[in-house]
Amino acid sequence: MSGAEAMAEAAIRAGCRFYFGYPITPQSELAEYLARELPKRGGVFLQAESEIAAINMVFGASVTGARAMTSSSSPGISLKQEAISYMAGCELPGVIVNVCRGGPGLGNIAPSEADYFQAVKGGGHGDYRNIVLAPSSVQEAADLSYLAFDISEKYRNPVMILCSAVIAQMVEPVEFMSPRRPEEVEKPWALTGAKGREPRVIKSLRLSEQELEEHNRHLQEKYATVKAKEVRYETRYLEDAELVIVAFGTSARIVSTAVETAREKGYKVGLLRPITLFPFPTHVIRKLAERVKKFMVFELSAGQMVEDVEIAAAGKAAVNFYGRMGGSVPSPEEDFEKIVDCYRG
Amino acid sequence: MYHDLIISGFGGQGILAVGRLLAHTAMLEEKYVTFLPSYGPIMRGGTANCTVVVSSKPIGSPIVRNPQSAIFMNAPSVVSFEERVKTEGLILYNSDLVDKADSKRTDVDKIFIPANTLAEEAGSGRVANMVLMGAFIEITQVVGMKSAVKCLKEVVSEKHIDLFQADQAALIKGSEFARCHTPARK
């Protein structure tokens, strides 16, 4: 099964009953899968008139307490940013999949991970954060799709799954968790009709004095909790590593082969792969920076996550970078050469 | 065990279908496998390619610059990919659409297979992809021929179910051809 299909199937199993989207390569297979499967399994698939309409439909479904999802690719995700900011402001859950393509602009349909800044640093307006998950295999795409719905609801915050077309288009074996009903958790905020109870209000407009600052404080406390509790990452060969490679998603997948080659040839190289991009494994890098000489960050961008690695390393270890842009992808051999240069340099 | 392969040809030749067959068969045999298709506006007459990696261990990169093996179903594929195949690697050519003279490599094992002709004999000219895959499996033994035949039923789409018998016959024809013709560096 492809990564796009795996995310779609996992979403249904996680209790997603509403999908709204608008086609764009390289993620249309996700929507195609749900167009076929979701109506059969008690859900609603709707192809909206635009990306903006689709995310606002997610907003609408989410307001009622339903599990809802949309997906798109870079330029389409840019269009959705206003509503994502509104969702964060209203504290609404919702899952957004971004299968990045080469940019900026309409760019191309080749694999890229250059939407890191947009996903991790906000994207829309105001002081808000998305929780951002970055799968690096089809299995993980499925697992994180499942997880996205849970933590999105837990923190009442949009969750974005960020991946390149390699993850979405690649076919690998995948095992799914058994389907389950959407948890019957209390949602004391959901708008379900005010019969027999006080009306509830969901809004992001807060005009009275200091009301909005207070709300922002509450949001920041929530993000602090997310940072404390939800950091996920994978490590390889860190014990004696002198050089630690940091990469996520597709970059991590490619460079992992180069790391294996480096180890076979006796280079003390380790790998740290952030799975959550927000919250970022800052503390892990900070601790490593005290004992390793160098980090090297590999990205499918001009260098975005590298800034977070630099902040985490806080000048205690050198941070190097290698990236390919605009949909170009390095080979493991190319990454290996860069590792050796950095190791020796 | 580790093997990687690039399959390339015209859109419509079943490049992705035959890559999926190999991937599915490897999965059935409980091997690790990745299948990465070229995607986007591929249709009849365009170019299509895919990369399949099969391994007994977890697979790192699904993207392969220099594959151990390649299957070229048309002439443009030779131009695009031939020089990328690893030294001492293996290339299977569809000699009905590729001129031997266009092949420049002398440091890889090469086998020229009249895949369209054999496909016609198997029942349909449209199953040349299966002829080449049959030969690939026979030569490399990356997966078992028996499981590939078994897998065929799961992989062939409903749209092409009418070709199922021909697909099966073509796989076997390809493997028989490879048994009688050893790949060589020429």
Query: Can you tell me the distance from the alpha carbon of B154 to that of A170, in angstroms, rounded to the nearest whole number?
Result: 18
Partner-chain contact A171 B23, CB within 8 Å: yes
Q: What residue type is assigned to position A295 of the chain?
A: F
Element (H, E) at A280: none
Position B89 in a domain: yes
Q: What residue has token string 């490879």?
A: B178
Residues in chain B closer than 8 A to A254 (CB atoms): 60-61, 63
Partners of A322 in the β-ladder: A298
Q: What is the pLDDT of residue A122?
A: 80
Q: Is residue B122 part of a domain?
A: yes
Q: pLDDT exceeding 70 applies to what percent of chain A?
A: 99
**b/e per residue B12-44 (b: at least 16 CB within 10 A):** ebbbbbbbbbbbbbbbbeebbbbbbbbbeebee
Confidence of residue B46 (pLDDT cuts 50, 70, 90): confident
Q: Are B66 and A333 in contact (CB under 8 A)?
A: yes
Would the pLDDT of B186 be above 90? no
Instruction: Check pLDDT > 90 for residue B1.
Output: yes
Residue of chain A whose alpha carbon sits nearest to that of B58 = A257
| B88 located within any domain | yes
The total number of structural domains in chain B stands at 1
Looking at every residue in chain B, the average pLDDT score rounds to 94
Residue B43 has pLDDT above 60, yes or no: no
| Assigned domain for B185 exists | no
3-state class (DSSP) for residue A46: strand
Contact A254 B61 (CB under 8 A): yes
Give me the CATH number covering residue B66. 3.40.920.10
Cα(B125)–Cα(A149) distance, integer angstroms = 48
pLDDT higher than threshold 80 for residue B78? yes
Among chain A residues, CA nearest to B62: A254
Distance separating alpha carbons of residues A250 and B62, to the nearest angstrom? 9
Inter-chain Cβ pairs, chain A and chain B, closer than 8 A: 56
Residue predicted with more confidence, B39 or A148: A148
Share of chain B above pLDDT 70, in %: 96
Determine the Cα–Cα distance for residues A17 and A32; give it in Å rounded to an integer: 15
Instruction: Search chain A and give the residue with CA nearest B53.
Output: A172
pTM for the structure as a whole: 0.95
Whether B56 contacts chain A with CB within 8 A = no
Q: Which of B23, B33, B63 sits opposite A166 (nearest CB)?
A: B63
Euclidean distance between CA atoms A270 and A273, whole angstroms: 10
Cis peptide before A173, with omega less than 30 degrees from 0? no
Q: What is the CATH number of domain A3-193+217-229?
A: 3.40.50.970
Cα within 13 Å of Cα(B114), Cβ side: 5
Q: Provide the residue range defining the domain that includes B60.
A: 2-180
B25, part of any domain: yes
B3 and A CB contact within 8 Å: no
**Residue A66: alpha-carbon gap to chain centroid:** 21
Q: How far is B132 from chain A (nearest CA, A)?
A: 21
pLDDT, residue A336, reads 98
Counted residue by residue, chain B has a size of 186
The DSSP letter of residue A181 is P
> Which among A36, A172, A273 is the top mutation candidate for probing chain B, defined by the most B β-carbons within 10 Å of its own β-carbon?
A172
Residue B52 lies in a domain: yes
Q: What is the ipTM of this complex?
A: 0.91
What amino acid is encoded at B95 in this protein?
S
Given a contact cutoff of 8 angstroms between Cβ atoms, the answer to whether A202 and A317 are in contact is no
Report the alpha-carbon distance of residue A116 to residue A252 in Å, rounded.
14
Same fold? A3-193+217-229, A233-344: yes
Q: Does A329 lie at the interface with B, CB-CB under 8 angstroms?
A: yes
Which H helix or E strand runs over A72? strand A68-72
- CA-nearest of A345, A337, A336 to A318 is A345
CA distance A213 to A221: 12
pLDDT tens across A288-312, in order?
Answer: 999 999 999 999 999 999 999 999 9
- Amino acid B173: pLDDT: 97
B36 and A329 within 8 Å at the Cβ level: the answer is no
B75 touches chain A (CB under 8 A): no
Task: Identify the pLDDT of residue A7.
Answer: 98
Of A72-86, B41-55, B144-158, which gets the smallest average pLDDT? B41-55
Task: Kindly identify which residue of chain B lies nearest to residue A172, measuring between CA atoms.
Answer: B34
Q: Give the lowest-confidence range in A148-157, A233-242, B82-91, B150-159.
A: B150-159
Q: Are B142 and B3 in contact (CB under 8 A)?
A: yes
Regions in chain A scoring below 70 on pLDDT: 181-184
Chain B residues whose CB is inside 8 A of the A172 CB are: 33-35, 62
Across the interface, of B27, B40, B62, the residue whose CB is closest to A170 is B62
Q: In angstroms, rounded to a whole number, what is the distance separating the alpha carbons of residues A323 and A92?
A: 35
pLDDT, tens digit, for every residue of B168-177?
Answer: 999 999 999 9
For tokens 């599990």, the residue is A67
Q: How far apart are CA B33 and CA B26, in angstroms?
A: 6
What is the 3 state secondary structure string of chain B? CEEEEEEEEECCCCHHHHHHHHHHHHHHCCCEEEEEECCCCCCCCCEEEEEEEEECCCCCCCCCCCCCEEEECCHHHHHHHHHHCCCCCEEEEECCCCCHHHCCCCCCEEEEECHHHHHHHHCCHHHHHHHHHHHHHHHHCCCCHHHHHHHHHHHCCHHHHHHHHHHHHHHHHHHHHHHHCCCECC
Are A26 and B40 a contacting pair, CB within 8 Å? yes
Q: Is residue B186 assigned to a domain?
A: no
Spell out the domain ranges in chain A.
3-193+217-229, 233-344
Residue of B158, B98, B159 lying closest to B128 (CA atoms)? B98
CATH number for the segment(s) A233-344:
3.40.50.920
H or E element, residue A167 = helix A165-169
